[in-house]
Structures are given as C-alpha cells and as structure tokens.
C-alpha cells in the first residue's frame, strides 16, 4: 500500500515537474545563471591564431564569471595576454608573442549570481600539430609481374590525424580500381601488379586539415619485370635494389593482405562510424563481398566504398554489434575473414538533459537526470558547483540516484544543480536551476498578433505564458474552445488541424493562476491556396525561334504573389532573350544551351505552387564528316561517313549526291538515299564518270548542309549500256518521215564519241533495214516516203568503245495529206422541235490519207417558217470521233429550216464536204409575251395590254389569261381563266372589286402548247364619290377649303394605272418653330407609309433626290431641318410587301418662311458706307502716287524698304500693272 502511494506521489511530482519545465523565465524576473554558449569539450586550436574560449550565460542579476585551469583557479589579472570580454565569460588569449602550447590544459568556466552557480564542461585545449615527414631514402622496388605489392605511406602523427592521398609528379591522383586501392591507414595495395604499373612517381601526400598544410613523402619508384627481364638485369640491379626473386607468379586463388588471419575484432562507439576493411591479393583480381552473420545491414546507414573493400556504417547503434564476414573470390577459389564488432557507448541522455524548474513557495517538483551508456555510467549531483553531499542541508530536498525531489520548497532555496554522468568513454555535464518564485501570470506572445494560414492546412496560435504557480491556459472564440476541431497543447498553443474559412476571426487566450489572470488576443486569417491553373507544357522548338511557357496561377487576392522561373533548378540566365511576364516566360532566338527543365514557382508569404516543363531545342543535323571510299570496283564503290550532331531530332535518312566533273562540273545530282541508322552505302556507278560524292543528313527539321566532298573516283569508259528512249516516227510533210528520240546524257554515254545509229524500214514491205549514223542530234528526216504508211524504227547508241545493246523496235507513220472523199448517204431524222439526228456512211480508209480523227457536222439555220421572224445564217459545228456514223444536233430552233453537211478530217485537215441537206423543225411552244401593262383603271374594271412573243416558234393559236385577287395579308383568291384569240393585244376586265389588288398571268400558245407566262399586279381605284375632296390643288400647291362634293371621272381614259392601293386625303401643312407639320388621312391596308420631300427647283435645274421619313402608325409628321426661304415638294407614299410604291398622294408645296434677323444689317448703316468710301479714296491716291514715282524713276517708301532689306524671298513690285508683290 505504501509502495503504491510512493509510486503515485512520484508520478504526480514527475507530472508537475514536466509542466514546470515547459516554462521559460523572463529575464526581468530573478533567476539563477544559465550557460547559453561554451566551447567544445575537445578544443583543437590553430597555433597561428588567438585562442578564444567561449563562455556565455544569462541570469537575473547578470552573473559574474571565473575560470579554473587544470583544476586550480585561473587568475586572469595575472595573465597579461589573457582578457575576458565585457559582460561575458569568454576568454581571449593573445599568442602573438607567446607559444600556443603554453596555454594547453583543461579549462572550466563558472557563472554565478546571488541565486546560484552554473559551471561549464571541462574544455580541453590542445594545439593542432602537423609535423614534418622524416627524411628517408626510398630505394627502387623491382617486382615480378603478377605478384602483390604494398606501398607504405606512414605519415607523421598529427593533431588531428592527416588525410592521406596518392598523387604523381603532376599533382594528379593516381587511378584506383578493384586491383589497386588505398587502405584506411593510407597504404597503397596492389592485388596483383602489372607491367603498366611501372613508374617513378608514386607519392603519398598528407593534408593536415586544421592548418591547411600538405606534406609529401619522397617519391617511390616501382619497376615491374617479367621473368625473362629479371634474369637479364639481375646483375645490374643486384647491388642497389631490393629484388623479389620469387618463382614466376601464375594465377592463384585469393588471400587477404589485411586483415590477417581468419578472424579479428573491432570496437566502435555508439553514434560513430564503423569502417571494416578487407583487401585481398590474387590473380585474377579477387572480388570482395560482405555479409552479416547474425542479421542484415541497416540499409539506410550502410555503404560500400573503395570498390567494395570497405564496409561503411554511420551512426552506429547497439544493434550493429555482431559478426561481419568479408569474402574474396576469383575463379580459382575464395577466402573468408570474420570480424567480431562490439559496440560501446559513452554516456547519452534518455529523454534529454535535466530542465530548469520553476516552483512557487510550498510547491513540489523534481529534477531528473536520465542517461545510459556502455558500460553503465555513474551519476553524481552537485549544487552550485559543490558536491551535493557537501552543500548546505535542505529538508525539502531528497536525492535518489538520478532524481532530486523537492517538497514544499521555501523562498530563498533557489540554486543551480549539476548532473554529471560518466564512464570510461566520456562524460555528460548538465546545469538545471530550481527557481522559487511567486509571480502572477503573464502571456509572452505579443498581443493582437495576426496568424495567417492556407485553407486545409494546420493552424497553430501561440499562447506562451509564464507564472508561478504555473498558469492554466483557456482559449475563447465567442465561447470556450474545447474538442474537435480544436486541440490545446501543454505549452498553451491552440491547434486547428484543418483550417477552414469560417475559422477566421479573433481568438482570446486567458492565463490564470492563484495570483491573477492575464488575457491576450490574437487573430487568425485563413487564406485561399495558391494553385497553378495552367501548367507549362513540354516544348520542342527549332533553334533561332521563340518559345513561350505559360503559367497561369490563382491565389488569394489579399496575398502578394511573386512569380519565379528556374532553369534546371537554378536561376535563369542573365540574358535579355528571356522575357518574364506576369503569367508566362518567353525565350526569343532560342539556342541549344536553352535546353533544360523550366520551373515556374508562384510564391506568397504563406505557400507556393510550382510546375515544370522541359524544353528541347532541335535543329537540322550537322553535316556528315570523314567520307571514305572503300571496296573500289569497276562499276561500284562503298562510301562510309560519320554522322554529325543530330540536335535532339533523330536522323531519318542520308541523301548521297554526286558531281560529274567530266560532263557536268558544278552540278550535284541525287544518287540514292539510305536509312538514318546506316553510315555506309554500296553505290552502283556508271562508266566514264569522274565521281565526287557528298552526303546530306535529314531529320524532322530538314536537311543538313552538305558534307565536304569525297576524293574523286574515276570509272573507266565502256560501250553504252542502253539506247535512247522516246523513239517516235511521224511526218511533217506528206512525203517524209521524221525519226526522233530523247538524246542520251554524258552519264549514259559510258565513253567518248557518242553517236546514234538510226534504222528504219517500211512495215510488211521492206525486209532490210536502212540505216544512218548521226551525232549531236535528236532526230533524222527520211524524204521521199509514201503518204501515211507504217514504218518500223530503231535507234542504237555507240561510242568509241563499242555499240549499245540491240534496240527495241518502235513504230511510226510517214506524213499525212488531206482526205479526198466526203461521207456518203447523209440523212437527217428530226426527233422534235429542238433536236435532230444525222446519219452518214464512213469514208474508205484509203481516202483518209492519214490517221482518221473524226467527222465534223456543219449546220446552220436558213430561216424561220414564220414570216415575222428574222433570217439567220450562223453556222455551227459538231465534232464526232472516227468510229461514229451518226450524231445528235441539239438546241435547234422550232419551226425553222436548217441546212447541213458532213466532212471527214485527219491530222492534216478536213476533206471535202458532203452535199448539203435541208430539214425542217416542227412547231414548239412560244416564248413569253414581250410585255404586259395595265391601263384605264376604274372602280370595277381594268384594261390589260400586251405584246406578241419575240419567238413564236410556230403559228400562234391564242393567249391564256389567268388572274386572282390578293388581300392585305398577301393571301391569293381563286384563279379565274380567260382564253383570248391570237390576234388580240388588249382586253378589259369588268366586274372587279374596287380598291382591290389583282395579280395577272398571261401566256401565248401554239398547237404544241402554252409557253411561259408574264405576270403583273394592279389595283382598282376607290369610289371617289365617297371620299372627301383633297385640300391640295394639284399642280399649284395652293391650299383650298375642303368641300364634300363628288368628283367627275377622269377625262383621259389612257393614263397609267396607279400601281399601289392606299388612298390618301386631306393632305395639309402648317408651320411651327420646330418645322413643317404634315397631316393627312389614310384608308388603305398598307402599313409602310413614308413622307417624301425635295427642294422645288426652278425650271432647267437638275432635280435632287427625294428625302424620305418613315411614319410610325400616325397620320402626321414634323419635318425638321428645312432651310429658310426655300419651297419644298411634299408627298405621302405607301409601299407594298415587295417595297414597291403602291400609292402616293398628290404633291403639296410647302414654303419655309425666312426668319426675321435680330441683328442690325451693317450694310444699311451710314457710318459703314462712309468708311468704305474713305478706304476706296485712299487706295486711289496710293495708286496715283505709285504711277508718278514709277515715271520719275524715284524711290517710293516701299521701294526704299525693298532696298534696305535685300531678302531673296521678297517679291518686287510688278512693272506691268503697278501693283505690289508679296512682302514677307
């Protein structure tokens, strides 16, 4: 029961202690010293620089400092070369006139004030050393090839130890491999030595890092000899060399050079680096492998160095102890070595060093010094630097091994406690104070601090506080914050694991203990994340062009974004070709060095987003190089080359060209193409050519520049391999034969002296060939041949070295002549009024006297059968192929007489015509009537007049008239039809409806039927007896009083019908300040009504265009902008659905009055008239004076001015009219 209570009390004390340890005492409150900075325990100094031993501490009041050296007080006042920095314990030792080694020793710093004493670690000061290499003479080493060899370095011991490396006389590192490598001790090991290892500059260097000095050993000479060379030179080297005269070294299985024996052991300290090494000799060179007998290697901490010869494990832990096996193996066998590794540990903290303890009077706390090590360390406590057993007794303090327990502490019991943990491998020393305070709470976090966080991220708001007793922290935002999504940490920090926009706002943290309460406010702003909406894309661009990477970003508007572009994770080149805009990067005139990965980074003060894209720069490939000709034969050669740089676009093909400097110098011809993966081509060649080759490479961008030409390759002449092509025979006259061919090129000639042997014979008549040999021509004319007979032809090539192969036979004909016969038995069959069919008998083939091409039918219209139609004589021609004996004649005119004849034609021309034949075409339907107009409109009748069709195409049988009414909605009424005689040209339709639109269709007809119709529209007039009389007197424009009297019908029965229907009445005008007001009455159905007006001109003047104002449903309109003092003609117009004028009113003349002037007419004022008269008189006098001066030759005032200012731009007075020129 007692044990449980003690355990519970200990847990409570530990809990309270942990809470107390989280507090940081503000520096304005009393507190014991705390060491904040000190030099390392093992302090190696540079003897060339002043010694600085650091010791900094804080406390209230500020602590004072003292030092011990080698366990005794170090009196700084008696050391003139040693000073202590103000307000610090740091020592500065001036060694300008002293040796640094005189200040070596163990130093310890003490910081004390009235509340306690803190001490530093024991700082061991040692001077770095880089001793010189001992003088020695290295004898040359002569070894047999294949044996193993070790070159020892053995550098002088330094502090710290030097870094070893092997170099030659040129300060170049010696190459190392699995055969040759440097051991951890610096020696150079050869598993087997080769002849090429002979050299006289094997030099071991030692670099001492603290003093940055490098020293070298004397060079070592190694001579590697085989057995024969050893026997020959043994006498010469015996007296002055170390000779290894072992038996010849053959292949052998591995043995270890280091370590020796089958097993060894290694001790390493926890946290340090474990390095195990195995170097073996053998021939062939052995391979090294590693394994752990009792487990696996720690993957993240293990590496293999020096060609697998060194096992390297960092940050060693106890789990790394065990047996490690290295194996050396070649094809002759293997050998093993086991290394037993033990891990020791200098003391290390468990859970960290003891922490400061702040307690209120009568509170309970605990200091814990938890540490471990191998072997297990001992723990001792001191208070204010004095062993705790020798310090003043304190009933509230109890020491239990690694723990000091404080119970109901009293004011004034503050002190600094030191915990020292040590074993044979090292020690740990830590200071922790106990500060007894009574202090109300305070919040150390600045008030009104604004925390900004990105949405969906973690938000942390600090409430760092201090007080004794320890304050309790409570957070508020409108209400107390407890539970999800809020987490309150022991140090007072409030966490929102996933912050959202609604979490923004004001937060209050309250610190409370028994002595008071403190309140602090902070603010949280949750921002929208920065996101790249459009990422840059992979680009492939040709060199010299431009490329644009886009990077469009969305961010919180309250944050200031910064766009940064990187190239290959580095800064962009400082080049004006790189243009950075707000959302893009443009690179102009791209070069190959611009290739890489481009990253856009959008940074704000809270977050960032990035995206990358790669740029590949492509270009046409570089030209191939190193053209070589091999495997040279009579008719072939092999060409090889080296491809140029592809520029990131694979080569697709190579084009091989040649120049023939013998026949066509300066011109390159395509010879062949090969795949882009090939670098050789077997070329077939022609004789008698001086070849020079070049190669072009092609990729997706284009062709490269040509390579440099190859050397010339000449082929020997030979007889032709081929004959001319395109052999043809034809005649230009009726008694000749022209034999032509395509001439052969110099490349085809195969040798000098190219000629052509031309051969011909009449087919199926001659058996022997007639031949002639010609040169430098491409045709030959044979005269005196029969007309158009077949010939067989051959053309053979020959040169100085022989004739070509037997040529193929071509066929041709001699010249043609005009046909001598006309087609017989020509007949015509009329199919209808516009189509006829003609037939003929083919002429005999012999009469054609050439190649039959066809027949031509000439036909023409003699006249129409109707007396009213004109006479026609235009000939037309239809052509038919030679295998035809009939054809169609389309497009004939009906009711007409036609004539025709037929002729045969060949390549030379037409033969004689056949006798002419006549035929008649029957009647057809007539064309449309020539016109249709509507006259003599009345209330219920209309008169229609028309003209006969231009093309009657037969005898007219009459006319058909159809008509129907059209209402205001453009709907058509029933159709009425009327038959009219052929001689009629007018008709009057009675019993029509007044004020109604009608549509008429008129067509002519023959016995074959009716032709197309002509249409027209018209409207009957309104019943004028029911209409009031217009107010306007037609023609005069005078306005008359309106009287409701009936008007007589029009006297002229032949005036043209009004084309539109609405009727207007009571058209009048009145004048107002704004303009002329036009009014009217309208009874028609149309809604498109306009007022048109134009200036009334005097007779003889050109008429202006009518101006138009649209009326929107009303029956009056104000005309504005009319000019004063002018007369205007005005009318009202209604338009139909097709925008044609259906009706307009009578014209109305409107006078625009001139406005009375409000200003006095200056021309009527007496003073103005008098002034004008005076000016005229002065001008007259001036002219008289000018005239007199001119006659006398004297100078007048203006002339004097001219003489005084000889300005070349001044224009003199004119002599002829005595007027003044321009004076400038």
3-state secondary structure 734-752: CCEEEEEEECCCHHHHCCC
Q: 1136 falls in which pLDDT band (50, 70, 90)? A: low
Average pLDDT over residues 1137-1142: 61
Percent of the chain with pLDDT over 70: 87
Lowest mean pLDDT among 1-10, 85-94, 363-372, 410-419: 1-10
How many other CB atoms are there within 10 angstroms of residue 1137's CB atom?
12
Average pLDDT over residues 866-875: 67
Q: How far apart are CA 543 and CA 540, in angstroms?
A: 10
Asked whether 106 and 113 are in contact (CB, 8 A), the reply is no
Taking the CA atoms of the chain, what radius of gyration do you get in angstroms?
63
Q: Using DSSP, how many helices (H) and how many strands (E) does the chain show?
A: 6, 95
Residue 1022 above 60 pLDDT? yes
Average pLDDT over residues 281-291: 94
Lowest mean pLDDT among 912-926, 1018-1032, 1096-1110, 1170-1184: 1018-1032
Where in 145-212 does DSSP place strands (E)?
Answer: 149-151, 163-167, 180-182, 188-190, 199-208
Average pLDDT over residues 373-385: 94
Residue 549 above 70 pLDDT? yes
Comparing CA positions, the residue from 56, 59, 61, 78 lying closest to residue 69 is 78
Residue 1030 above 50 pLDDT? no
The confidence score (pLDDT) of residue 231 equals 58
DSSP designation for 217: P
Asked whether 190 and 152 are in contact (CB, 8 A), the reply is no
How many other CB atoms are there within 10 angstroms of residue 1020's CB atom?
23
The confidence score (pLDDT) of residue 1138 equals 56
The confidence score (pLDDT) of residue 234 equals 55
Q: How far apart are CA 689 and CA 665, in angstroms?
A: 11
Comparing CA positions, the residue from 663, 673, 660, 670 lying closest to residue 712 is 660
- Kindly list the distances between the CA atom of residue 811 and the CA atoms of 319, 734, 772, in Å, as whole numbers in the listed order: 103, 17, 17
Residue 584 above 90 pLDDT? yes
Lowest mean pLDDT among 45-59, 610-624, 1079-1093: 1079-1093
Q: How far apart are CA 832 and CA 815, in angstroms?
A: 44
Q: How far apart are CA 1149 and CA 1122, in angstroms?
A: 13
Q: How far apart are CA 793 and CA 809, in angstroms?
A: 6
- Kindly list the distances between the CA atom of residue 355 and the CA atoms of 18, 115, 352, 366, 417, in Å, as whole numbers in the listed order: 9, 17, 8, 10, 10
The confidence score (pLDDT) of residue 1141 equals 65
The confidence score (pLDDT) of residue 100 equals 82
Residue 1061 above 50 pLDDT? no
Average pLDDT over residues 314-330: 94
Lowest mean pLDDT among 532-546, 989-1003, 1028-1042: 1028-1042
The confidence score (pLDDT) of residue 1165 equals 61
Q: Which residues contact 91 (CB under 8 A, 6 or more apart)?
A: 51, 52, 53, 55, 67, 76, 82, 83, 84, 107
How many other CB atoms are there within 10 angstroms of residue 69's CB atom?
17
Comparing CA positions, the residue from 838, 892, 889 lying closest to residue 865 is 892
Tens digits of per-residue pLDDT, 721-742? Answer: 999 999 999 999 999 999 999 9
Tens digits of per-residue pLDDT, 671-709? Answer: 999 999 999 999 999 999 999 999 999 999 999 999 999
Average pLDDT over residues 137-148: 90
Average pLDDT over residues 823-844: 94
Percent of the chain with pLDDT over 90: 64
Comparing CA positions, the residue from 336, 471, 353 lying closest to residue 419 is 353
Average pLDDT over residues 281-292: 94
Average pLDDT over residues 332-339: 94
């Amino acid at each position: 029961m007692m044990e449980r209570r003690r355990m519970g009390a200990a847990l409570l004390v530990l809990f309270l202690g942990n809470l107390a340890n989280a507090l940081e005492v503000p520096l304005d409150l009393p507190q014991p010293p705390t060491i904040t900075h000190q030099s390392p325990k093992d302090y190696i100094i540079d003897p060339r620089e002043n010694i600085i031993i650091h010791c900094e501490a804080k406390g209230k009041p500020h602590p004072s400092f003292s030092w011990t050296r080698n366990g005794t007080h170090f009196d700084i006042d008696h050391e003139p070369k040693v000073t202590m920095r103000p307000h610090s314990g740091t020592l500065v030792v001036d060694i300008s006139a002293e040796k640094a080694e005189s200040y070596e020793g163990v130093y310890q710093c003490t910081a004390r004030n009235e509340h306690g004493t803190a001490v530093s670690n024991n700082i061991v000061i040692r001077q770095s050393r880089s001793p010189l290499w001992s003088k020695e003479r290295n004898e040359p080493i002569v070894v047999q090839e294949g044996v193993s060899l070790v070159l020892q370095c053995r550098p002088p011991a330094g502090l710290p130890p030097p870094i070893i490396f092997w170099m030659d006389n040129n300060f170049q590192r010696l190459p190392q491999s699995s055969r040759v490598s440097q051991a951890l001790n610096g020696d150079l090991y050869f598993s087997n030595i080769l002849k090429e290892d002979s050299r006289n500059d094997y030099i071991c260097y030692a670099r001492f890092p603290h003093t940055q000095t490098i020293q070298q050993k004397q060079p070592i000479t190694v001579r590697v000899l085989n057995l024969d060379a050893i026997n020959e030179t043994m006498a010469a080297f015996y007296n002055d060399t170390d000779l290894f005269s072992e038996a010849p070294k053959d292949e052998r299985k591995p043995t270890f050079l280091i370590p020796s024996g089958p097993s060894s052991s290694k001790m390493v300290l926890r946290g340090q680096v474990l390095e195990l090494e195995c170097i073996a000799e053998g021939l062939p060179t052995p391979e090294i492998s590693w394994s752990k007998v009792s487990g696996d290697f720690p993957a993240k901490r293990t590496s293999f160095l020096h060609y697998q010869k060194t096992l390297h494990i960092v940050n060693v832990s106890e789990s790394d102890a065990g047996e490690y096996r290295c194996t050396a193996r070649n094809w002759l066998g293997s050998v093993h070595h086991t290394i037993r590794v033990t891990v020791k540990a200098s003391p290390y903290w468990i859970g960290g060093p003891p922490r400061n303890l702040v307690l209120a009077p009568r509170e309970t706390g605990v200091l814990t010094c938890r540490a471990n090590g191998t072997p297990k360390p001992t723990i001792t406590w001191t208070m204010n630097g004095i062993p705790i057993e020798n310090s003043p007794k304190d009933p509230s303090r109890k020491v239990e091994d690694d723990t000091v327990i404080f119970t109901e502490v009293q004011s004034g019991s503050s002190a600094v406690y030191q915990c020292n943990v040590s074993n044979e491998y090292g020690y740990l020393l830590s200071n922790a104070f106990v500060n007894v305070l009574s202090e109300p709470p305070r919040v150390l976090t600045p008030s009104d601090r604004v925390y900004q966080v990105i949405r969906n991220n973690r938000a942390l708001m600090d409430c760092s506080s201090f007080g004794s007793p320890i304050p309790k922290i409570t957070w508020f935002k409108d209400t107390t914050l407890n539970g999800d999504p809020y987490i309150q940490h022991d140090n007072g920090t409030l966490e929102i694991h996933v912050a959202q926009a609604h979490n923004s706002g004001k937060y209050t943290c309250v610190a409370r203990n028994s002595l008071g309460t403190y309140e602090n406010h902070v603010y949280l702003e949750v921002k929208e994340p920065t996101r790249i909406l459009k990422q840059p894309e992979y680009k492939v661009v040709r060199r010299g062009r431009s490329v644009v990477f886009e990077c469009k970003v969305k961010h919180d508007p309250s944050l200031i974004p910064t766009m940064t572009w990187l190239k290959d994770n580095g800064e962009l080149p400082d080049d004006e070709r790189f243009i950075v805009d707000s959302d893009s990067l443009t690179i102009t005139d791209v070069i190959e060095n611009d290739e890489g990965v481009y990253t856009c980074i959008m940074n704000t003060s809270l977050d960032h987003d990035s995206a990358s894209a790669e740029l590949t720069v492509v270009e046409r490939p570089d030209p191939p190089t190193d053209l070589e000709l091999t495997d040279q034969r009579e008719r072939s050669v092999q060409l090889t080359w080296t491809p140029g740089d592809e520029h990131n676009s694979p080569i697709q093909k190579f084009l091989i060209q040649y120049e023939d400097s013998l026949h066509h110098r300066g011109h390159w011809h395509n010879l062949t193409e090969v795949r882009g993966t090939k670098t050789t081509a077997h070329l077939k060649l022609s004789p008698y050519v001086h070849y020079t080759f070049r190669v072009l490479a092609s990729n997706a961008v284009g062709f490269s520049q040509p390579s440099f030409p190859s050397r010339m390759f000449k082929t020997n002449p030979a007889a032709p391999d081929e004959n001319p092509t395109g052999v043809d025979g034809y005649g230009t006259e009726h008694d000749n034969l022209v034999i032509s061919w395509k001439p052969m090129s110099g490349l085809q000639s195969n040798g000098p002296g190219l000629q052509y042997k031309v051969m011909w014979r009449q087919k199926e008549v001659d058996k022997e060939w007639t031949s002639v040999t010609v040169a430098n021509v491409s045709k030959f004319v044979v005269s005196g041949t029969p007309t158009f007979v077949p010939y067989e032809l051959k053309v053979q090539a020959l040169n100085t070295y022989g004739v070509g192969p037997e040529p193929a036979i071509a066929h041709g004909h001699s010249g043609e002549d005009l046909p001598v016969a006309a087609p017989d038995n020509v007949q015509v069959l009329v199919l209808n009024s516009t189509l006829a069919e003609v037939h003929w008998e083919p002429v005999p083939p012999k009469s054609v006297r050439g190649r039959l091409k066809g027949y031509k039918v000439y036909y023409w219209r003699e006249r129409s059968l109707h007396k009213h139609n004109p006479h026609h004589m235009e000939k037309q021609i239809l052509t038919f192929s030679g295998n035809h004996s009939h054809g169609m004649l389309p497009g004939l005119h009906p009711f007409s007489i036609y004539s025709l004849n037929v002729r045969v034609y060949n390549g030379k021309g037409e033969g004689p015509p056949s006798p002419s034949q006549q035929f008649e075409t029957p009647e057809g339907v007539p064309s449309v009537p020539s016109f249709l107009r509507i006259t003599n409109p009345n209330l219920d009748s209309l008169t229609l007049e028309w003209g006969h069709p231009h093309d009657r195409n037969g005898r007219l049988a009459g006319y058909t008239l159809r008509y129907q009414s059209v209402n205001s909605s453009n709907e058509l009424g029933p159709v009425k039809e009327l038959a009219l005689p052929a001689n009629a040209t007018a008709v009057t339709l009675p019993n029509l409806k007044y004020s109604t639109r009608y549509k008429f269709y008129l067509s002519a007809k023959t016995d074959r039927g009716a032709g197309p119709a002509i249409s027209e529209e018209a409207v009957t007039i309104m019943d004028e007896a029911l209409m009031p009389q217009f107010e306007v007197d037609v023609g005069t424009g005078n306005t008359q009083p309106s009287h409701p009297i009936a008007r007589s019908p029009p006297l002229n029965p032949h005036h043209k019908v009004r084309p539109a229907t609405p009727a207007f009445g009571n058209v009048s005008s009145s004048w107002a300040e704004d303009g002329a007001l036009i009014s009217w009455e309208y009874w028609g159905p149309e809604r498109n009504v306009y007022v048109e007006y134009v200036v009334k001109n005097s007779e003889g003047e050109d008429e202006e265009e009518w101006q138009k104002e649209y009326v929107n449903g009303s029956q009056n309109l104000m005309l504005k902008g009319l000019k004063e003092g002018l007369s205007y003609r005005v009318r009202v117009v209604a338009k139909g659905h097709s925008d044609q004028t259906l009706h307009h009113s009578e014209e109305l003349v409107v006078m625009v009055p001139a406005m009375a002037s409000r200003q006095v007419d200056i021309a009527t004022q007496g003073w103005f008239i008098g002034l004008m008269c005076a000016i005229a008189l002065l001008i007259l006098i001036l002219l008289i004076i000018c005239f007199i001066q001119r006659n006398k030759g004297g100078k007048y005032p203006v002339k004097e001015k001219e003489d005084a200012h000889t300005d070349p731009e001044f224009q003199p007075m004119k002599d002829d009219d005595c007027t003044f020129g321009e004076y400038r």
